[in-house]
Amino acid sequence: MKTYRIAVLVAAAVLCVSSAHAQKPKVVILATGGTIAGAALKPTDPGYKSGAVGVDVLIDAVPQLKDIADVSGEQIASIGSQDMNDEVWLKLAKRVNELLASPDVDGIAITHGTDTLEETSYFLHLVTKSDKPVVLTGSMRPSTAMSADGPLNIYNCVAIAADPQARGRGVLVLIDDDIHSAHDVIKRHTTDVATFTSGEAGLVGVSLFGAQTWYRTPAQVHTAKSEFTIAADQATLPRVDIIYAHANMSPDLITAAAVNGAKGIVIAGVGDGNMTAPAWTELQRVAKEGVVGVRSTRTNGGITRRNIEVNDDQGGTVASMELNPSKARVLLQLALLKTSDAKKIQDYFNRY
């Protein structure tokens, strides 16, 4: 009888362990560098080296991750995100889609610098071919800092990637307990921990120590429903330059962008996507030569619509709608893989 009882207890223990392990979602962390992987000499040192710490160190620094998910890590890059480039974007997109195609993977968490996080997240928002959660995070203080914000951001990021309710909301960004859509999030402050905002669109949700409250699902087209695909042999993206408008703006930089191979130009316009008359004349001229011009706004707020103070129909230009200049550049790069027809590109800007 005693042997039987021991056998039952051992079987129960094995079942508990295996069922607990079996119940945890599989989340893969893809690391690219940034401040979240940064290191300084002292906890109060404002200066630091970005991307100095590897993904395994980041995971080991948050032992509580194993309570919420079956986590593994891969190092995609180790760069400050000011150096983010097409090569890393394409490598990241291909790896995300490869992992999410596996039934064993429930979600992806990506650690990234905050400088260009709004661009990388929106790029993935447009080319990820799954509705499983893809969640990016970063930090404003290095991993070695007093009150480092990275560990809790990683914990919440993985919790969202493991959350079935995160599915179908597009690529998300978690920073400082806030859950943003990749479509709307922008960095608005050089050093503030709460540096990200989603403006008029607002948050998708919030996360408190890994427990999410959801507010909305973004309306625009994204991820599994997107028409944009990264081919296996895609090695580069079309060159698109952003030119900042200002008082007394010269047309020379527009000319220079076209001469240097830009296939598209985004104007970070004053007000509602405006620029000086000489600049507008030059943008229309290069449009006739096949360089697609998109009018966005340097204000980082509001919607830049067609034919308000200038006539886009006559100018052959595109209005960026809700997209700020950095996101308009991403959508224009992908649109140019399909067409250089301004009317077809405007349709993409109206829907994505």
Rank residues 85 and 250 by Cβ distance to ligand DGL and give the closer one: 85
40 near ligand DGL, rule: CB under 6 A = no
Which of 138, 205, 264, 316: binder of ligand DGL (CB under 6 A)?
138
With helix as H, strand as E and coil as C, how does 124-163 read? HHHHCCCCCCEEEECCCCCCCCCCCCHHHHHHHHHHHHCC
- Closest approach of ligand DGL to the CB of residue 115, in Å: 3
Comparing every residue's Cβ against ligand DGL, the nearest one is 113
Which of 82, 165, 236, 311: binder of ligand DGL (CB under 6 A)?
82
Q: Which two tokens stand for residue 16?
A: 């508990």
- Specify the pairing of strand 178-181 against strand 172-175: antiparallel
Q: Which residue among the candidates 3, 32, 35, 116 is catalytic per the annotation? A: 35
Rank residues 31 and 262 by Cβ distance to ligand DGL and give the closer one: 31
Distance CA 194, CA 102 (A): 34
Rank residues 180 and 222 by Cβ distance to ligand DGL and give the closer one: 180
Of 27, 44, 188, nearest to 99 by C-alpha is 27
Distance CA 14, CA 7 (A): 11
Is residue 100 a contact partner of residue 130, using CB atoms and an 8 Å limit?
A: yes
Q: Is 107 exposed, middle or buried (0-12, 13-18, 19+ CB in 10 A)?
A: buried
Distance CA 17, CA 316 (A): 64
Which of 113, 133, 293, 316: binder of ligand DGL (CB under 6 A)?
113
Count other C-beta atoms under 10 Å from residue 285's C-beta.
17
Beta-bridged to residue 136, according to DSSP, are 110, 173
115 near ligand DGL, rule: CB under 6 A = yes
- Closest approach of ligand DGL to the CB of residue 121, in Å: 13
- Closest approach of ligand DGL to the CB of residue 100, in Å: 25
Count other C-beta atoms under 10 Å from residue 276's C-beta.
16
Which of 25, 100, 106, 114: binder of ligand DGL (CB under 6 A)?
114
Of 326, 338, 335, 333, nearest to 115 by C-alpha is 326
34 near ligand DGL, rule: CB under 6 A = yes
What phi, psi does 92 have (nearest 5°)? -65, -45
170 near ligand DGL, rule: CB under 6 A = no
Count other C-beta atoms under 10 Å from residue 8's C-beta.
10
73 near ligand DGL, rule: CB under 6 A = no
Q: Candidates 133-141, 172-180, 227-235, 325-333 — which segment interacts with ligand DGL by CB under 6 A?
A: 133-141
150 near ligand DGL, rule: CB under 6 A = no
Q: Candidates 136-144, 161-169, 207-215, 226-234 — which segment interacts with ligand DGL by CB under 6 A?
A: 136-144
- Closest approach of ligand DGL to the CB of residue 33, in Å: 6
Is residue 160 a contact partner of residue 166, using CB atoms and an 8 Å limit?
A: yes
Q: How many positions of this chain bind ligand DGL (CB under 6 A)?
A: 12
- Within 8 A by CB and 6+ apart from 298, the residues are 244, 245, 268, 269, 270, 325
Whether 3 is catalytic: no
148 near ligand DGL, rule: CB under 6 A = no
Rank residues 142 and 264 by Cβ distance to ligand DGL and give the closer one: 142
Q: Candidates 77-85, 100-108, 252-260, 294-302 — which segment interacts with ligand DGL by CB under 6 A?
A: 77-85
149 near ligand DGL, rule: CB under 6 A = no
Q: Which two tokens stand for residue 105?
A: 């993977």
Which of 140, 162, 182, 221: binder of ligand DGL (CB under 6 A)?
140
Q: Which residues lie near ligand DGL (CB under 6 A)?
A: 34-35, 50, 80-82, 113-115, 138-140
Residues with catalytic roles: 35
